[in-house]
Amino acid sequence: MTDFSPDFRPGRRRFLASAAAAALAAGALPRGALAQAGRLVVSNWGGDWNDNIVAALERPAFGETGPEIVHDLAPVAERKTRLLAERRLPRSSVDVSWLSDSDAFEMDQQGVLEELDYSRLPNAAALQQKLTAPYYIPAIFGAVCLLYNPEKISTPPTSFADLWNPAYAGRVGLMDQIYFNYIYAASLAAGGTMSDVAPAFAKLLEMKEAVQPRIYPSHQALAAAFQSGEIWISANYSARGRQWQADGLALELAFPEEGGIAISFGAGIPKKAANRDAAYAYLDAMLAPEAMAGIARATHYAVSTTDAALRPEEREALAFSDAQVEGLNFVDYAYAAENDSEWLEWWNREFKA
């Protein structure tokens, strides 16, 4: 599926193994872990996303005597292409790869990712079981939910169906890049499922006629539309809503009665990783309470573990209730992979036109 992962800035594409890079990122494994020698190549998105992971996880967790951490930073499509090409080689050039849940599923189906040995990940005992996968460790998760301007909408929305409210004609904003999430939302609002979105297409055409939604090319453009009052309501990732709240936008989040649409980001280990021991130590360090708290603060996502070292007010601001977690709608990855290109063609031809 298309890459809707953390923002990537081409101007900061590579963090190479120069002396300065090694001085910044090299370090010792967390206390109690074996100190692994050599290089650990971590494949990740760039920009602020990677800066946050370095600050919240890698610098605090790794001291001065561990492996040299080298970052391979690129958009996920480029990184997945490299992983696929290297299946034929004796060794992968990557030891740890950060991926979204859907990208991790795709790489697992292509035989790229190792089935993880959870006995080597003691901190994984705190993972929320609903989020786990045999080939991928989720670090953070969120959900597509409703975002609205409380100064314009006094009664909080309760359902994805509120996006069809004719009272909001001309004030509904959608983001082009996450078109598939609107297909899922329309399916749920129309009585469909995540594995059968057939009802979504007629439902979205109803939206087009009823409210003339405005479609924006990026998260930033959508936020600007909220800021200017051009739109009053949207559906987007919970973390984006919390980020924009922190930035001062007049914005509230509402969890839809149909359940939010889940998304997570985390990491896996390629089967042919050269430094597997250090890779396991990295994943376990990622799940440590302090690292989880730092990642949550930096990204505004909820964490996948139950023991993150967050203050009560931070946990309340970022976490989902047990009922909301239980009600999350998870993507049927195989179904989505089979149909995504057709959905995108329909979106461009029928909905955007």
pLDDT tens digits along 57-90: 998 888 666 678 999 999 888 999 999 999 999 9
Model pLDDT, residue 319: 82
Same domain, 99 and 156: no
**Range 334-351 average pLDDT:** 94
Same domain, 175 and 211: yes
Model pLDDT, residue 65: 61
For 286-311, write each residue's pLDDT tens digit.
Answer: 999 999 999 999 999 999 999 999 99
> CA-CA-CA-CA torsion for 283, 284, 290, 292, nearest 10 degrees?
50
Task: Answer whether residue 96 shows pLDDT above 90.
Answer: yes
Residue 24: inside a domain, yes or no? yes
Same domain, 64 and 78: yes
Task: Answer whether residue 23 shows pLDDT above 50.
Answer: no
**Range 104-130 average pLDDT:** 96
Q: What's the CATH code of the domain at 293? A: 3.40.190.10
Same domain, 128 and 268: yes
Residue 4: inside a domain, yes or no? no
**Range 320-349 average pLDDT:** 93
Residue 285: inside a domain, yes or no? yes
Task: Answer whether residue 258 shows pLDDT above 50.
Answer: yes
Same domain, 83 and 160: no
How far apart are alpha carbons 175 and 256 in whole angstroms?
18
Residue 92: inside a domain, yes or no? yes
Report helix, strand or coil for 98. strand
Count of Cβ atoms closer than 10 Å to residue 9 Cβ: 13
Same domain, 223 and 294: no
Model pLDDT, residue 320: 87
- Residue 68 or 108, more confident: 108
Two tokens at 99? 């991926």
Residue 3: inside a domain, yes or no? no
Q: pTM of the predicted model, to two decimals?
A: 0.79
- At residue 137's C-alpha, the angle toward residues 135 and 141, to 5°, is 125
User: Considering the chain, what is the average pLDDT of its residues?
Assistant: 88
The pLDDT > 70 percentage for the chain reads: 88
Same domain, 133 and 165: no
Residue 106: inside a domain, yes or no? yes
Model pLDDT, residue 212: 97
- Residue 351 or 22, more confident: 351
Task: Answer whether residue 179 shows pLDDT above 50.
Answer: yes
Model pLDDT, residue 37: 60
Same domain, 257 and 295: no
The contacts of residue 221 (CB under 8 Å, 6+ apart) are 175
Name beta bridge partners: 138.
Answer: 266
Name the nearest CA neighbour of 261 among 188, 344, 335: 188
Task: Answer whether residue 24 shows pLDDT above 90.
Answer: no
Residue 5: inside a domain, yes or no? no
Overall number of domains in the chain: 2
Count of Cβ atoms closer than 10 Å to residue 2 Cβ: 14
Same domain, 334 and 210: yes
Two tokens at 277? 């021991």
Model pLDDT, residue 56: 92
Name the nearest CA neighbour of 307 among 44, 124, 162: 124
Residue 1: inside a domain, yes or no? no
Name the nearest CA neighbour of 124 among 303, 305, 281: 305
Same domain, 163 and 227: yes
Model pLDDT, residue 321: 87
8 A C-beta contact, residue 49 and residue 8? yes
Domain span including residue 52: 10-141+263-320
C-alpha distances out from residue 346 to 192, 202, 331, Å? 18, 11, 19
How far apart are alpha carbons 266 and 16 in whole angstroms?
22
Same domain, 129 and 163: no
Same domain, 239 and 293: no
Name the DSSP letter for residue 301.
P
Q: What share of the chain is helix, strand, coil (3-state, %, to 5)?
A: 45, 20, 35
How far apart are alpha carbons 248 and 22 in whole angstroms?
37
Name the DSSP letter for residue 320.
P
